[in-house]
Amino acid sequence: MSNFEERLLSALTEEIATRKAENGMTTTTTPVRRGSRRRLVGLSAALAGVAAAATAVVTLTGLTSSPAYAVTKASDGAVSVQIHEFSDPEGLEAELAQAGVKAVVDYLPQGQTCKDPRGSAGTASGRFGASIRRSGDGIAFTIEEGQVPAGETLVLTVSKSEDGADRPPFATSLQVVKGAVAACVPTSMPVPGDGGAGANFEDDGGAGFHTKTEGKDQGPSLSTGTE
Amino acid sequence: MRLNEDPAAFEAFYRRHVDAVMKFVVRRVSDPHLAADLTADIFLAALDSAHTYVPGRGSEIAWLYGVARNVVSAQHRRAAREARATGRLAGRRLMDDDDLARMEERIDAERQMRSALEAMRGLPEGERAVLELVAIDQLTVAEAAAALGVRQVTARVRLHRARRALEHVASPPPVYVEGQA
């Protein structure tokens, strides 16, 4: 192997070490539970604190470059979704439909989400779990076979970053809805720290938001679950 | 795959595929510096997406070509728009004169493949993507489907359409239209 290839290998190996060190410092996608009464089951989504990520991962941004999204179906039926840029929600819905997952995708401006509930909770939510991971500047998640059965719909809602559609999102939410899905009615998101106690919504056992801010250089972290 | 955590696993992976990745790149760009940058970008993107590869679900190279495709097509979209950000791992800075000469040889060797790709520019994106991976990069239809994240039957249909469409093309479409990649 030549010099270029060897040098590139060394640089990449260093990159791995750097990333490991940085991952040790930040936990940007840990779902946070509030109180022991509520159990997070089913599809839970983690919200990354973008302000914190922007400082911690500043050397990594701009490394990845790829189209808006990728949907991959594995031989065991699991569907992997990677979103790099929060644009073209209809295209993503179409790709997911092609992979056998009925989905409703809404991208909203920073600080906005869709009014809950979007519909009744899916049947599989007690048995399956999927979580949103950060992936570069975007997000990724995997839907296992059967997690979104016929008659149910995967509902993905993303509150984009004000810095642009290809920046890490402000907030994300993933849920499975049985039957009809209500159209998205944009509404302001609960802002962590607002009023001191943080926001904690409950809708008759439907989807709920849990928000919490950890430390002063950690952005908001929000997880939604369906009971 | 623990690519992004285990340097030894990554090194093995890198050595298995670096040649294929460079070939993939020089079939698509003719600037040796850009080729070096893209090679570095592709492996960085592979680190970013390491969690999306599950051993046993399709071949490693199909997955890596999927990543490579994304990197290269994003490059086409961005080329005119922005100067490269500073502070990233720039492949070109890792090349010395010998490397540059060898990269140019590689680029030369793939000239025919680049003109073949040029002839496919007018095809719809989905069809062109399958034909590229099968005809130019020599993947099987199953691997191409995995790389593109579509079903095998979809890939087969698109490949068929692409081949039929090419038969009807008297001459290659003249211009690559920015933004369609």
Burial class (CB in 10 A: 0-12, 13-18, 19+), A43: buried
Residue type, position A165, single letter = A
What is the Cα–Cα distance from A6 to A10, expressed in whole angstroms?
6
Residue type, position B67, single letter = V
What is the Cα–Cα distance from A106 to A185, expressed in whole angstroms?
10
Q: How many angstroms separate the CA of residue A75 from the nearest CA in chain B?
A: 6
Q: Which of A92, A80, A185, A94 is closest to A135 using CA atoms?
A: A80
A82 has which bridge partners? A70, A140
Token readout for B77 is 């979209």
Alpha carbon distance, N-terminus to C-terminus of chain B = 30
**pLDDT of A46:** 38
What is the Cα–Cα distance from B43 to B11, expressed in whole angstroms?
11
B130 has which bridge partners? none
**pLDDT of B27:** 92
Chain B: residue nearest A94 by CA? Answer: B150
CB B71 within 8 A of CB B38: yes
Token readout for A137 is 């500047």
Asked if A63 has any chain B CB less than 8 Å from its own CB, the reply is: yes
Token readout for A11 is 């640089």
Structural domains of chain B, ranges and CATH numbers in brackets:
1-109 (1.10.1740), 111-181 (1.10.10.10)
What helix, strand, coil percent values describe chain B, rounded to 5?
A: 65, 0, 35
Task: For an interface test with B, give the residue of A6, A12, A14 to mutate (most B CBs within 10 A).
Answer: A12
Asked if A59 has any chain B CB less than 8 Å from its own CB, the reply is: yes
Bond prior to A89 in cis (omega within 30° of 0): no
Secondary structure (H, E, C), A129-150: CCCCEEECCEEEEEECCCCCCC
Taking one residue from A and the other from B, the number of pairs with CB-CB distance under 8 angstroms is: 122
Token readout for B18 is 């670096």
Residue scoring higher pLDDT (B30 or A46): B30
Asked if A98 has any chain B CB less than 8 Å from its own CB, the reply is: yes
Token readout for A98 is 């092609």
Q: What are phi and psi of A17, to 5 degrees?
A: -60, -45
- Model ipTM value: 0.79
Q: How many DSSP H helices and E strands does chain B contain?
A: 8, 0
B32-48 and B97-109 helices, crossing angle to 10°: 90
| pLDDT tens, residue order, chain B (181 aa) | 577 778 888 899 999 999 999 999 999 988 899 899 899 989 988 888 887 776 665 678 888 998 999 888 877 666 544 544 444 578 888 989 999 999 999 998 898 888 888 888 888 889 999 999 998 898 999 999 989 989 999 999 999 999 888 876 544 444 443 333 3
CB contact under 8 A, B87 and A59: yes
| In the block, residue with structure tokens 């972290």 | A221
Task: For an interface test with B, give the residue of A18, A65, A133, A139 to mutate (most B CBs within 10 A).
Answer: A65
| Angstrom distances, CA of residue A79 to CA of A25, A40, A98, A211 | 30, 22, 11, 28
CB contact under 8 A, A136 and B48: yes
Is 0.90 surpassed by the pTM of this model?
no
Which chain B residues have a beta carbon less than 8 Å from that of A18? none
Chain A: residue nearest B37 by CA? Answer: A8
The angle formed by the CA atoms of residues B12, B133 and B104, to the nearest 5 degrees, is 70
What is the Cα–Cα distance from A47 to A224, expressed in whole angstroms?
9
How does pLDDT run across A90-127, given as a tens digit for each residue? 778 878 887 888 888 888 778 777 877 788 877 665 44
Which chain B residues have a beta carbon less than 8 Å from that of A8? 18, 39-40, 43, 91, 94
How does pLDDT run across A190-199, given as a tens digit for each residue? 654 444 443 4
Beta strand A79-83 with A138-143 is antiparallel
CB A154 within 8 A of CB A104: yes
Would you give the DSSP letter of residue A121?
E
Chain B: residue nearest A77 by CA? Answer: B57
What is the Cα–Cα distance from B43 to B10, expressed in whole angstroms?
10
Task: For an interface test with A, give the residue of B73, B94, B103 to mutate (most A CBs within 10 A).
Answer: B94
What is the Cα–Cα distance from B151 to A74, expressed in whole angstroms?
9
Which chain B residues have a beta carbon less than 8 Å from that of A164? none
What helix, strand, coil percent values describe chain A, rounded to 5?
A: 20, 30, 50
